[in-house]
Each structure stands twice: as structure tokens, then as C-alpha cells.
Structure 1
Amino acid sequence: MTADTLGGVWTYALELVRALAPRDVEVTLATMGAPLSEAQWAQARALPNLHLEESRFRLEWMDDPWEDVRAAGDWLLSLEARVRPDVVHLNGYAHGALPWERRPLVVGHSCILSWWRAVKREDAPERYARYREAVTAGLRAAGRVVAPSAAMLEALRAHYGPLPPAEVIPNGRFPGVMPPRAKREPFVLSAGRLWDEAKNLAALRAAAPRLGWPVKVAGDARHPSGLAVESRHVELLGHLSSSSLADWMGRASVYALPARYEPFGLSVLEAALSGCALVLGDIPSLREVWGEGPALFVPPDDVGALVDAVETLRHDDTLRTRLAVRARARALTYTPRRMAAAYLSLYAALSGLRIPEAPPPPPRTRSPLPETPSP
């Protein structure tokens, strides 16, 4: 399995590896993008079925990455020759077109062309023509294609189709990682790079002076160019470890992410597991993942609607608690166990191997949140 070390794919990969352990599946994880942090090494060492192979090759979505993409391909093929895996699971696109022993599984977590369309409201510029060609070739060479939401899968078809057999497998998160608390503190939390146009935290920053509760943002405020993003009216928590972010989510009353582009939204899933009431950008993927009832949705570019939604939750304790309970109930359906079972079915189809039976699920525990009856 491949993974980059710079975002949610790392969390997704480790959750999947952990969930595969009871099925006696061993995973060699080949990382790219940047060296692992000490915290990431510690997370990896805690998984007995994980074997880590680290690299620093640039990723296909970075500026002028193609020499590194080629070199990374040679490295991955050498790993295949040494490890002799039953399945190759790629969490990127371009390497799908390599001459693998078996056609790989390619998972589309996001892409530049769909990002550009959602965020810029126009087609990506011509400088991404090579990227488009590489992604198209990788997807069409796959044995199977997966996306974490139907919205993301439709975007892949629209920009790079037709595709091989494809399906949706939602991401999962272990509930114990983000435990809820009975008491909530009066602040609004969000997470993401403050400069990321997809997360649209600029809208939350613009709304903050009109909100009765303070706004706290976890994530980097410094753009890759080195420039610091204006952060007035919000408290910057900086880059947090998983445990620190869990603590903040456990304390927050509201989690707000007025995203313009979010193919699944792991941070939203974590916030829901933590017992936060959700205010989300009204985009197809987030509507799909959360359905009707567990969240308030606002147009991403309507700051007034964002203010109204957060203020409604601030003033209405009953509604806020009801939404938090519903969000957590929905979040508990996105389990790593369910995710792993779906991937194992694909692994069996790609490899021809019989997958061992799953052990019985652990007993469910009740949420410490107060249960508010539905209307």
C-alpha cells in the first residue's frame, strides 16, 4: 500500500491497517511526500501487522514532480519484487500505470481537477495537462477503483473516465480515538490549513467577529510560500498531535467546516465521534456522508448563513445536543471494521485468495452524551 505523509491519507491508511490485523493481513506501507515525523513513526510501530518503507519522493499533485514520480515508480516496482504482495493498493493515481504483476487497486481520495472546479469554479489551467494524462493512465490501468464518496467517484468519472469497475467505500475511524465528553465548552472549533481554499476557513474567520463564542482553529496558518495568513478574530492552535486534537474536539460544542471541497471529511467524522454539533458546507459529498438531520448545512460562500447557523446552536442547547447525538450516531456507522471488510472483498477479487472469516465485533458502548429525544 502507498500513502503520503502530509494529510488525511496517512490517517486513513493506519486505520485500515489496524482494522486488517484481526484478519491476519500484513501490510507493507510505502510512504512518499515527506519524511515521517516522530509521532507518525510511533503510530506505525504500534501496529504489529505493518511494515514501513519510507521515502521522500515528491507527489504527483506537487509542482513539477515528474522526475520524482518516475523514480518512485522504480522504487515501488523494486518493493513489489522483494515483498511479493498479493495485492497492490495505491492511494495515488500515476503509479497505477506501472507494469505490476497484477492490476492494482487505485483509491481516489481527491484530485487537482475536481479541487479546481469546486474551489475556483472553472476548469484547471493547461499547466495541469500532464497531471491529467498521468492520472487518467493510472486510473484506466487499475483492476478496481475506489473513492470514499459517490461524489468523489463521480468527479473521477467526469474528469478522467471511463473507469474500470469502481465502487464507493467510505472511510472509517475507531470511536475510541475521539471519545465524547458529557460537558461541552462554549467555543467553535475547526481544523485545517487556514490558507486552504477548499476548507474555506476564511469564511469562518470572516464570521468570527459576529459570533458570540470564540473560534479556535487547529492547523497551520503559514502558507507553503512562507507567508503567514491573516488570523485576526480566531485563536490559532497550531499543528496538533492526534491526542491534542482529540482533547480539543472533546471540549468543543460546535465544529464548523464551511468547505467548498471535501471528498469525505475525516476531521468532520472525528468531530462527530467527539460529540460536537456540526455546521458544514452545503456540498454534495458532505450531504452524502451526513445525510439529513445530523448537521446544519450552509452555502460555503454565505458568511451570513454561517453566522446564523452557529448562533442558532449557541442559543439553543436542546438543538445543539440533539444534533451532536445524531452526528455521533451517524459517525458510529463509519467503522474501520466495515471499511476493512469492503476492502478485503476487493483484495480477494484482485488476488483470487480466500479471505478468512471475521471475528465477532466488539460490544458497543453507550455515548456519555445526554440522549435528547428526536422531535
Structure 2
Amino acid sequence: MGYGSLPVRPSRVLMTADAVGGVWDYALELARGFARLGIATDLAVMGPAPDEGRTAAAARIPTLTLHHQPFKLEWMAEPEEDLHKAGDWLLALEKRLSPDVVHVNGFAAASLPFRAPVLCVGHSCVLSWWRAVHREDAPPDWLGYAGRVADGLRLADMVAAPTQAMLDALRWHYGPLPRARVIPNGRDPQHYRPLPKRPIILAAGRVWDKAKNIAMLDTVAGRLPWSVFVAGSTDGPDGQPKPLQHARALGQLPADQLARWFGRAAVFAHPARYEPFGLAPLEAGLSGCALVLGDIPTLRELWDGAALFVDPDNRTALARALTTLADNPARVKALGAAARKRAHEFTAVRMVRGTLDAYAELLSKAALKAAASAVP
């Protein structure tokens, strides 16, 4: 599958990101696709600096330039002063670089007075996270954050989300989104492939993150027929370790090592309470893992018919599903094949094409607006 004809496309994109979560991988996947088309990407990274591995990965993309400032991210405590500084920095970058499009992977920066049209992509938000994890509305402490998100969504020229469920959540929490679309995330299939499968269950994510719900998997791991391995940080947001009790911690793995674990694992367990898209299940699916997923709207939207689903609050159901699979190799193989087939619908090429289609619409509207304003 190629990119096809792209009648209107940018030559340069200014994109925001952070190196904390999946947005980094998303941004680099887009930048790789853009590079094949000769499109330059300036990636404005805020928050903690990219580590050595991430910096090296970015350096391998010929048309990508990294810019970094350690400003607090919009969901961090008391970010107001840093958000003001970040806004000045981003506007100065735009003035110097003259991008055709500004692509904001967040919300607050989408309300800045950029000259180029703005695509705001909502990968997740605190209000929807809080509702999914705590089963109640976020406390009043988050009203300032909610206002910044609502402003960004309202003032962006276009809003996108990786799933319809995430787009619906943004509408529910922040109001109507008249200029919105779904652009599914994607991965390059060539980096993920099945290897000879072993009788192991793999999970991946931040152990302390209640949204990923790895703690529930850990509680049942000791009574499963197969060993459970978890790739991801066990250090909590306070810097204190959150050790696993029954599963085996692999730590934070480089991408190539994690891909090998995906390739060898027979089952990938992700009983998430909140997951606006989920790159880890996609990578596992591309690797031919049988998927056991939390029964939430986003994962149903993406994987219905190609995975087993469990109530993310029911540890008994999770243990039963994993035990049943361990006792049925034919079912594991069939689910792995179904997941791999479905995963190939969510490629990096599709994501790049969808994003460029959004850019083309923004650029066409901007050109019409400029032409109309030039008429005496």
C-alpha cells in the first residue's frame, strides 16, 4: 500500500510532542513517513528530554529536526508559567521555520495564534482518564486544565483522535467538535513478526499506571499455568519502585528487544481500564500474539472479533481467560492469526495518509481564505 496521489501536501510541518509516552512513537512514525515524501518535520519536544535511545532513533530520520525545552506539560502540577513560556517558544519557532502546518499533539498549544493552520490531535486527556480509572468525574483541581483543553479544541482548525471512542470522549467532556475526524494510529509491520511461539504471557506498560491495569494481571499471575512477563517501568511517578509480586519484570526494553518478546509470546494481556488507542496491543497483534484485552469501548472498536475481552475490574474473569487459553493451543493459534490479520489494517502508511489528507484539507481551506481576502 502506497500513499497514492496527494494533490496538496506541506513541505514543512511543525509538530509538538513529549518523550513521556506513546506520543513520541507516534510522532516518529509520522516523521518517517513524511521523510519518504520529502516533507520536513520540526519536532518541538517539551517536558523531560528524550533519552539516548530516543534521540538516536530521531537522528536516523533524515528530514527530522529535534527542538527541546524542559517546560512542564499541560497535565502537570502548576504548569501555567511554563505553558506561557512554551507558547512564546512555539510561536518563535513558527516564525523562524515558516511551516505550512502546525500539528499539536496535545491541547493547550492549539489555542496559540499561529499563522499556519493547526491540527490538534487528542491522544488522551485527564478528564476521560479519570472517569475510566476512578469511575467518577475529575475533582475541581482540574478545572483549569479542562478550560485549557476546551480552548485548544475550540480554536484548532481541525481536531483528530485515534479512535471514534476517544473523539466521543472529547465531545462528552469538552463540548461539540464541528471540525473533527478519526485518524487511526499505525505501526510499520516490517518491525513486528511472529517468531517461534513460547508458552508465555506478555504485558507491556507502566506498572504503576492504573489505566494499564497491570497490577490486576500481577495479582493473578501466580496461579496461571504460564509465566507472565511485564515490559515497562516499575518506577512510580514519585520515583519510588512499584515492584511486581508474581509476574516477572523485564524493565524498560529497547524497541528491538521488545519486538522480539512480542514475537515469542503466545499471549499478550492488556486488561486496560483506559486506552485511547493502544500501540502495545497493535505491536503484539502484528507479532501474532493472541490478545486478551480490557472490555472498553476503544479496544472493542479496534479488536472486536480478533481478541478475547475481559472486564477490567474482574480478576477472576482475567485468570479464567488466560488459563483457558493456556489449555487450548489451537485457540491461541487462531486468535493470534486473527489479531495479526486485524493489525495489518492499522499500518503506518494508513496513518501517514490519513494525516496528510487532514493537512490537505487545512491547506486548501487556508488557500481559499487567503484568495478571498485578496479580492478587492
TM-score of the pair, normalised by structure 2: 0.92
Match of 2:56? 42
- Aligned position for 1:85: 99
Indicate conservation of the 8 Å contact 1:257/1:281, yes or no: yes
The answer to whether residue 112 in structure 2 is matched with residue 98 in structure 1 is: yes
Aligned position for 2:220: 207
1:267, CA displacement in angstroms? 0.5
Q: Give the superposition deviation at 1:230.
A: 4.0
Q: Report SS of the residue matched to 2:222.
A: helix
Rounded to whole Å, the distance in 2 between the matches of 1:62 and 1:241 is 26
The alignment status of 1:342 with 2:367, answered yes or no, reads: no
Give 1:8's match in structure 2, choosing from 19, 22, 36.
22
CA distance in 2, matches of 1:164, 1:8: 26
Q: Where in structure 2 are the equivalents of 1:102-117 lying within 5 Å?
A: 102-117=116-131
**Deviates further, 49-58 or 278-287:** 49-58
Q: How does 1:145-224 map to 2 (within 5 A)?
A: 145-181=159-195, 183-224=196-237
Separation (CA, whole Å) in 1 of partners of 2:188 and 2:360 = 24
What's the offset of the Cα at 1:78?
0.3
CA contact (8 A) 2:117 2:363 kept: no
Aligned Cα RMSD in Å? 1.2
Give per-residue Cα distances to partners, 1:192-216, cap 9 Å, x unaligned: 1111000011110111122011111
Deviations 1:314-339 (A, max 9, x none): 11111100100110111011011111
Q: Does 1:324 align with 2:336?
A: yes
Amino acid at match of 1:90: V
Quick one: distance in 2 between partners of 1:27 and 1:84?
12
The superposition leaves residues 108-131 of structure 1 with CA deviations (integer Å, 9 ceiling, x where unpaired) of 000000000000000000000000
Contact 1:192 1:219 survives alignment (8 Å): yes
Conservation of the 8 A alpha-carbon contact between 2:268 and 2:292: yes
Instruction: Give the AA of the match of 1:42.
Output: A
Q: Is the 8 A contact 1:142 1:164 kept in 2?
A: no
**Contact 2:325–2:332 under 8 Å retained in 1:** yes
Identity, in percent, stands at: 53
Residue type matched to 1:98 in 2?
L
Letter in 1 for 2:351: M
User: Where does the alignment leave 5 or more consecutive residues of structure 1 unmatched?
Assistant: 355-375
Check conservation: 2:204, 2:231, Cα contact below 8 A.
yes
The structure 1 segments of at least 4 consecutive aligned residues displaced by more than 6 Å after TM superposition are: none
Please tell me whether the aligned partners of residues 106 and 144 of structure 1 are also in contact (alpha carbons under 8 angstroms).
yes
Confirm or deny: 8 A CA contact 1:77 1:100 kept in the other structure: yes
Structure 1 residue 341, shift from structure 2 partner: 1.0
Q: Answer whether contact 1:151 1:284 (CA < 8 A) is retained.
A: yes
SS of aligned partner of 2:283: helix
Give the Cα–Cα distance (whole angstroms) in 2 for the partners of residues 59 and 23 of structure 1.
31
In structure 1, the residue matched to 2:304 is: 291
Partner SS state of residue 63, structure 1: coil
Paired with 1:62 and 1:325, the residues of 2 have a C-alpha distance of 41
Once residues 353 and 164 of structure 1 are traced to their aligned partners in structure 2, the CA distance between those partners, rounded to angstroms, is 15
Q: Is the 8 A contact 2:127 2:173 kept in 1?
A: yes
CA offsets 1:241-272 (integer angstroms, 9 cap, x no match): 11111111111111001000000000000111
**Alpha-carbon distance in structure 1 between the residues aligned to 2:158 and 2:152:** 11
Q: How far has the Cα of 1:352 moved from its partner?
A: 2.5
Contact 2:192 2:263 in 1 (8 A): yes
CA deviation after TM superposition for structure 1 residue 69, in Å: 1.1
Any conservation in 1 of the 2:100–2:117 contact (CA below 8 Å)? no
- The corresponding residue for 1:358 is none
Cα shift at 1:103: 3.5
Give the CA deviation at 1:353.
9.0
Whole-Å Cα distance in 1 between the matches of residues 117 and 188 of structure 2?
Answer: 30
2-structure distance, mates of 1:346, 1:184: 40
Amino acid at match of 1:264: F
Report if the CA contact (8 A) 2:30-2:351 is conserved: yes
SS, match of residue 101 in structure 2: coil
Which has the higher mean CA deviation after the structures are superposed, 49-58 or 92-101?
49-58
